[in-house]
Amino acid sequence: MQDNLRRDPFPLKTYKHIGERGPRRLDGYHKASGRADYTMDVQLPGMLYMRFLNSPFPHAKIKTMDTREAETFPGVRYVLRYDNPELPERASMGKLTGIYGDPPPLSGIAHFEGEPMGAAVVAVSEEIAEDALELIRVEWEERPFNLDVLTAMEKGAPLSYPEMYPDSNYWNNGLFDEMTQGNVKKGFKQSEKIIEFEFNRRSHTWIGPERPCGVFRWKGDVAEVWVKQQRPHLVKKNLSTWYGGVPMNKIQLHCLYQGASFGGWVQVPWNMGPLYCAGFVSKKTGRPVKYTFTRREDFYGESMDEGVYRFKVGFNMDGTILAVECSSICANQIFPVFNAVNHIRESTRVPHLYGKIFSIWINKGPAVPTRCEQLPATLSLTAVFSRVAAECGLDPVEVALKNDGFEGHGKDRFEKEKKGLGFPAIDSLKECVEKGKAAIDWDDKWHRPGTKTLPNGRMHGMGFTWTNEWDDSLGSAEIAIRIERNDGTASILSMGCDNGVEAENTYCMIAADELGLRLEDVSYNPQLDPGFFRMSPDSSTNLSVNGWAIRHASRILKQRILEAAVAPTAKTQRGSMRPAFPDCKPEDLDIVDSVIVKKADPSEGISVADFVREAGQSGPVTSTESGGFRWAFTEPLFAFSYHVQMGSYNPENPRPHLTRQAHFLEVEVDTDTGEIFVVKTVNVNDVGKAINPMSCEGQQYGGTIMGLSRGKFEEMIYDPVTGVMLNGNLLDYKIATTLDVEGPIDTILVESGMGYGPYGSVGIGEDVGTVMTGLLGPAVFNAIGVWIDDHPITPEKVLKALGKI
């Protein structure tokens, strides 16, 4: 099945586990007890440790490098230099590596301070490798550098990547580099009012708790690797092209529990290059090699929204928005980025849009999807809508409802579209905002900006934003399910990364309901490599792909079980045994709570466990029990399926986003210190169908905390003179603690059924974290009556906005 474009035509009639709260997490005990293994925990006999040289400069080339002292340092086993003639000039590091194409696995030129490059030292311990790194003496050719997109755009600015981009720092690479809908000139002419403003988002990064690392071991010509990676299939694919070619069937891949990356790791050389080097040295030394990055080295990239956004918005004073023009000047977009007006296009009736992205190279790390690549688009929608509401003196919720729609079409057409696709025509936004408003007492609490001072002296503010709920994953999933011998339990087979969103439970719940098994009889270990992959990471809302594949495989398997139940068993050339259910057809049977039953009389049945019988060398046909089917040999019960999807990534034929999300925030601002207190958050997400509600809530909590953390504190700070990163540690780069989201977070799920995923589901993984990142702005505006369009919103910026400095 491909690209489901309509409502799920064949959902289940009843759900047992799907929608249930609180299934026992498959990974829960491992993680709570410290027994979960991560790549960083891997230790193999004789293992060596690899550490990389880091560039002390933001833009520099190695002129000479003396590694002799490092070579002879006690405990060092190998020093890999970038100019080693056996290293290839280019190696496949992953598709979509942007400017790098296929880069060298170890570069001699650094493009940002702290970039791992030049040399790698391999030693018997990490400490020794680090000590030896300090003995490497490099003569650098320092080059001029850029830290800021605006100055890098100017004529005469130094080149940030002269080898790749000798003409300018501008790169036109986006999927939706330029997006046009209607005619903005016309729209502005029709508008009662036009405003222009600018929004600035400073760079922030993923902060994955488990530091980047990997282990490579050769067993003869078999390559065995452990990787911290969100996309293990990429590892296998790229690895198969290295070292003159390694057959796919000679690669043993381990993708253990993942200590989160939120993107970050996606498809960049610093992910695969070290693995290449580790494999290279492992071959030379005959020992397993583990490479690790320090916490400082994990700051090697950023999210995709760093930049300046310039808006021109035309609207009527009743809140109808007619035209939006946006030029976004964003840094280092090595991944094709969605246009900043994309969410306005997808979710509203605004007829005239024009968005242009300028992707500008500067000497910081690459900008990669970091919960997520839709940040520019959601920040823009929030900025535009909240400004228009303020200018019109209107409640922002009303402005949202007024402009809700899709691709320039209004509510009527939207409803028609929903019905045409077989969905119920539910006004998702209306339902979301009504629930959200009730939860936060919006109607009582919202007020005109800057008009409410509390008894405690602080100014009170209410913020709101919204957009579509998305899950348009581009990719494929292959899933197999096997019924185990002896006890009839089901194993889902497909490799993917488990970074904690509890996807595996969700897939088990689908399989259990589809197969008719008890939930405790279904299990899924995504760390096993059966040779095929599900879409990964699930935090990128891959349920819309994987869910289908699980379902297809389950339905095929169920049919297979029922067919086997009515067929003769133990069939050989000499004869066969009676079926388990003689005189029945498959459609007469069902599976309920792991028992195959007759529909006509569910008390008559045989458990799946008994049906599949034993496995083993002594063979299943060993029983001396008398009586028919208990002698039987059932065929192996196994099925596989797959799903392919292009979703919205196909600009020719996008799927309209039908469901919505709405988020509300209540804040207090201390006008003497500029401090912002988050009093209450309400998240409302229309997920179509909440297959695993607790997993959805986890994304709401997690997304809120990350979003507010980004809004309040997160910024990568560079010394303007030397380009050195100043806060590359977890003390100076601040992520929220448990005390920093002061008030409660209310999580509400709406289930309109208007999703393209199985059972009408829509994803949630990226959504809340991305949208919440911009919500502090409107909330603070409502409190103090002044816009702060430079995020993060620190106390300093509040004080400045209040005119106190």
Partner 1 sequence: MADHEIKPSICPYCKKEFDSIDAMKQHVFKAHRGSDPPSPEGDIRLNINGNDYYLSVEPRWTLYDVIHDRLGLTGSKQFCDRGACGSCTVIMDGKAVLSCMILAIECDGKAIETVEGIAEKNHPLIESYVKHHAMQCGYCTPGFVTTSKALLDRNIHPTENEIKEELSGNLCRCGTYPQHTIAVLETAEKLRTGKADGAEKAQGDG
Partner 2 sequence: MEPKKHKETDDMKNFIHYNAYSIEEAVMLLARYGKNACVISGGTDLLGKMKDRVLPTYPEALINIKTIPGLNAIEEKTGKLSIGALATLTQVAEHETVRSNCAALAQAAGRTASPHLRNMGTIAGNICQDIRCWYYRAPKNRFSCLRKGGGRCYAIKGDNRFHSIFGGSVKGGCVAVHPSDTAPALIALDADIITSKRTIKAEEFFNVGVLHTTTVLEDNEIVTAIEVPTQNSVTKSAFIKFALRKSIDFPIVNCAAAITRDGETVTAARICLNAVSVVPKRVKPAEDRLVGETINEKHVGEAGAAAVSDAEPLEKNAYMVELAKAIVKRTILACGDTEGG
Q: Please give the residue ranges that form the binding site for partner 2 (CB under 8 A).
A: 56, 66, 68-69, 72-74, 127, 130-131, 134-135, 137, 296, 672-675, 712-713, 717-722, 724, 726-728, 731-732, 734, 736-740, 742, 794-796, 799-800, 804-805
Residue 674 or residue 728: which is nearer to partner 1 going by CB? 728
Minimal distance in Å, beta carbon 6 to partner 1? Answer: 33
Minimal distance in Å, beta carbon 18 to partner 1? Answer: 17
In the chain, the amino acid numbered 561 is I
Minimal distance in Å, beta carbon 351 to partner 1? Answer: 38
- Considering CB distances under 5 to 8 angstroms, the limit depending on partner class, which of partner 2, partner 1, none binds residue 713? partner 2
Minimal distance in Å, beta carbon 141 to partner 2? Answer: 16
Minimal distance in Å, beta carbon 211 to partner 1? Answer: 8
Burial (CB count <10 Å: 0-12, 13-18, 19+), residue 447: middle
SS3 551: helix
- Considering CB distances under 5 to 8 angstroms, the limit depending on partner class, which of partner 2, partner 1, none binds residue 672? partner 2
Residue 53 or residue 93: which is nearer to partner 2 going by CB? 53
Residue 82 or residue 414: which is nearer to partner 1 going by CB? 82
For 164, half-sphere exposure in the C-beta direction (CA atoms, 13 angstrom radius) is 19
Q: Which residues contact 347 (CB under 8 A, 6 or more apart)?
A: 381, 404, 405, 406, 466, 467, 468, 657, 660
- Considering CB distances under 5 to 8 angstroms, the limit depending on partner class, which of partner 2, partner 1, none binds residue 31? partner 1
Residues that bind partner 1 (CB under 8 A): 22, 24-25, 27-38, 40-41, 43, 63-69, 71-72, 74, 81, 83, 127, 206-211, 257-260, 262, 294-295, 499-502, 694-695, 698, 701-706, 729-731, 735-739, 741, 744-745
Minimal distance in Å, beta carbon 527 to partner 2? Answer: 32
- Considering CB distances under 5 to 8 angstroms, the limit depending on partner class, which of partner 1, partner 2, none binds residue 706? partner 1
Q: Which residues contact 33 (CB under 8 A, 6 or more apart)?
A: none
Minimal distance in Å, beta carbon 132 to partner 1? Answer: 13
- Considering CB distances under 5 to 8 angstroms, the limit depending on partner class, which of partner 1, partner 2, none binds residue 799? partner 2
Exposure string (b/e) for 83-121, b if CB count within 10 Å is 16 or more? eeeebeeebbbbeebbbbebbbbbbbbbbbbbbbbbbbb
CA–CA dist 791, 770 (Å, integer): 14
CA–CA dist 649, 651 (Å, integer): 6
- Considering CB distances under 5 to 8 angstroms, the limit depending on partner class, which of partner 1, partner 2, none binds residue 726? partner 2
Give the angle subtended at the CA of 503 by the CAs of 31 and 366, to the nearest 5°. 85
- Considering CB distances under 5 to 8 angstroms, the limit depending on partner class, which of partner 2, partner 1, none binds residue 721? partner 2
For 233, half-sphere exposure in the C-beta direction (CA atoms, 13 angstrom radius) is 17
- Considering CB distances under 5 to 8 angstroms, the limit depending on partner class, which of partner 2, partner 1, none binds residue 28? partner 1
Minimal distance in Å, beta carbon 153 to partner 1? Answer: 33
Residue 650 or residue 729: which is nearer to partner 2 going by CB? 729
- Considering CB distances under 5 to 8 angstroms, the limit depending on partner class, which of partner 1, partner 2, none binds residue 420? none
DSSP 760-786: G----TTHHHHHHTTTHHHHHHHHHSS
Cβ contact 785:450 at 8 Å: yes
Minimal distance in Å, beta carbon 33 to partner 2? Answer: 21
Alpha helix segments (H runs only) across 1-82: 28-33, 68-71
- Considering CB distances under 5 to 8 angstroms, the limit depending on partner class, which of partner 1, partner 2, none binds residue 712? partner 2
Helix (H) or strand (E) holding 226, with range, is strand 222-227
Question: Nearest Cα to 552, choosing from 485, 480, 605?
Answer: 480
Residue 14 or residue 64: which is nearer to partner 1 going by CB? 64
Residue 573 or residue 737: which is nearer to partner 1 going by CB? 737
Pairing of strands 575-577, 251-254: unpaired
Minimal distance in Å, beta carbon 435 to partner 1? Answer: 19
Residue 251 or residue 788: which is nearer to partner 2 going by CB? 788
CA–CA dist 171, 176 (Å, integer): 13
Q: What is the sign of the dihedral through the CA atoms of 155, 161, 166 and 169?
A: negative
CB atoms within 10 A of CB 75: 15
